[in-house]
Amino acid sequence: MSDREIRIATALIVGGLAGLAATVPMTMAMTRVHRRLPWRQRYALPPRIITDRISERAPLPASLLPARGPERALAAHFLFGGATGSAYGLLTSTTNIKPTVTSGVIFGLGIWTISYLGWVPAANLMPPATRQPRERNAMMIAAHIVWGAALGIGAAAGLAATKSKLV
């Protein structure tokens, strides 16, 4: 492998791990805010809604899918966090953008925008954010800010560790 290929592979792995780890404080923030929403808005969080709807439409035998429930949604949410973290790693390894809190937050808000105004309503998984209650949008935007900040910190620390003699 060339040095460039090694750098990109490392950034993909570090970004994926940072995205996975960043999903922890994001999920904690979502859960905490969800409990404070007006009673009528305390229905399932978006990861659960999206996961359940994708699973219902999957062209797979039900026996191959995990059982419906919070565990399946949580697993899918962490997988998505890791996958999008890998995309952040790729972005920061192939552009002049460096992994920082600021770039992580901007990336997190981009993921929210692309998801809740883009592919999620386009796939008919949920109505767009423009048709969601203001408080639920605020909850999800805040959660993506938390995720992005943790992603930027984690990716920067992970890349620094790979350049040290410690790893």
- Least trusted range by pLDDT, from 9-18, 65-74, 87-96: 65-74
Handedness of CA 136, 57, 79, 95 (dihedral sign): negative
Confidence (pTM): 0.93
- Asked whether 92 and 15 are in contact (CB, 8 A), the reply is yes
Mutual orientation of helices 70-94 and 134-163 as an angle, nearest 10°?
A: 50
Q: Which residues of 74-103 are buried (b: 16+ CB within 10 A; e: fewer)?
A: bebbbebbbebbbbbbbbbbeeeeebeeeb
Mean pLDDT is lowest, of 6-15, 63-72, 115-124, for 63-72
* Pairwise CA distance, residues 2 & 92, whole Å: 18
Number of folded domains that form the chain:
1
Query: Is it the case that residue 66 has pLDDT exceeding 80?
Result: no
Look at 35-49, 61-75, 79-93, 149-163 and tell me which has the smallest mean pLDDT.
Answer: 61-75
Question: Which one has a higher pLDDT value, 63 or 129?
Answer: 129
Domain span holding position 153: 3-163
Query: What average pLDDT is seen over the chain?
Result: 94
Between 21 and 61, the higher pLDDT residue: 21
- pLDDT score, position 163: 82
* Residue reference for tokens 């090694």: 6
